[in-house]
């Protein structure tokens, strides 16, 4: 059975900034209004109360790009300060710029990622996954995940989803790994839905490794043609 989609699995979605497009001009990042930031502080207060009564930690996703080099560094610094003062929340940060994440985090003062931060690679196919996976596994973060947004082809997750592997002495040892896999909905009007065999293969790989597999309920999977 599939786990809920990424945003459904989280309790809150926080968008600290967004892209705005004006006719004839390139898209630019704009800081969200004060009401948006007020809401996350309200959620933080609810999270503190929940922490005293419930073992399940509240989860918040940041659905916009955090590690874009064009973002004003001060914005990222303020976001990281917010995350630091709300350790009762597990923060999920998916990014298409994982290879830049460690350097930009260091520039913002994060020498180590806090334990309550989950970092994810947002990719669409095997080539993108292979390109960024080693950077993701190298970053010292407690939880790592992959988001296929959207899924455009078959995927081989290899050993990246296994929490232990055999070393040269054949002893099992813990290693950095992908702890969750998400498949998002279709992004764009002209993209076809993922093929059933792509989804089935991902689900089976995760099942064998014991890795939670989440899929967007909006995805209409096309059955393979006869």
Q: Which residues in the chain belong to E strands, given as ranges? A: 12-13, 17-20, 28-31, 59-61, 90-95, 117-123, 143-148, 164-166, 172-174, 180-183, 213-215
User: Which of 20-24, 92-96, 187-191, 215-219 comes out lowest in average pLDDT?
Assistant: 187-191
Would you give the distance in Å from CA 52 to the centre of its chain? Answer: 27
Helix (H, G, I), strand (E, B) or coil at 143: strand
How much is the average pLDDT of 148-152? 90
Phi and psi torsions of 9, nearest 5°: -75, -25
* Spatial distance between the Cα atoms of 31 and 116, rounded to a whole number of angstroms: 24
Number of residues written out for the chain:
226
For the chain, the domains span 6-215
For tokens 């939880």, what's the residue?
143
Helix (H, G, I), strand (E, B) or coil at 26: coil
How much is the average pLDDT of 31-42? 94
CA separation (Å) from 129 to 82, 172, 185? 29, 25, 18
User: Which of 80-84, 157-161, 164-168 comes out lowest in average pLDDT?
Assistant: 164-168
pLDDT band at 128 (very low <50, low <70, confident <90, very high): very high
Residue 47 has pLDDT above 60, yes or no: yes
pLDDT score for 50: 78
Helix (H, G, I), strand (E, B) or coil at 81: helix
pLDDT score for 1: 46
* Spatial distance between the Cα atoms of 51 and 89, rounded to a whole number of angstroms: 9
CA separation (Å) from 178 to 22, 60, 136, 138? 38, 19, 9, 12
**In terms of pTM, does the model score above 0.85?**
yes
């Amino acid at each position: 059975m599939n786990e809920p989609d990424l945003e459904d699995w989280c309790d809150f979605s926080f968008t600290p900034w967004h892209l705005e497009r004006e006719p004839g001009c390139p898209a630019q990042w704009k800081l969200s209004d004060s009401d948006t930031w007020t809401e996350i502080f309200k959620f933080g207060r609810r999270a503190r109360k929940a922490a005293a009564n419930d073992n399940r930690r509240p989860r918040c996703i940041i659905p916009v790009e955090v590690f874009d080099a064009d973002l004003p560094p001060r914005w990222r610094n303020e976001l990281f300060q917010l995350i630091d003062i709300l350790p009762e929340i597990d923060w999920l940060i998916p990014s298409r710029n994982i290879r830049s994440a460690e350097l930009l985090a260091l520039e913002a003062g994060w020498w180590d990622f806090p334990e309550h931060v989950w970092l994810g690679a947002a990719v669409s196919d095997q080539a993108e996954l292979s390109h960024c996976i080693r950077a993701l596994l190298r970053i010292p973060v407690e939880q790592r995940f992959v988001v296929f947004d959207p899924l455009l082809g078959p995927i081989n997750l290899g050993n990246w989803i296994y929490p232990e592997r055999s070393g040269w002495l054949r002893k099992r040892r813990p290693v950095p790994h992908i702890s969750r896999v998400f498949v998002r909905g279709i992004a764009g009007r002209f993209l076809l839905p993922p093929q059933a065999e792509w989804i089935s293969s991902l689900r089976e790989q995760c099942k064998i490794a014991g890795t939670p597999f989440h899929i967007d309920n909006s995805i209409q999977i096309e059955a393979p043609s006869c």
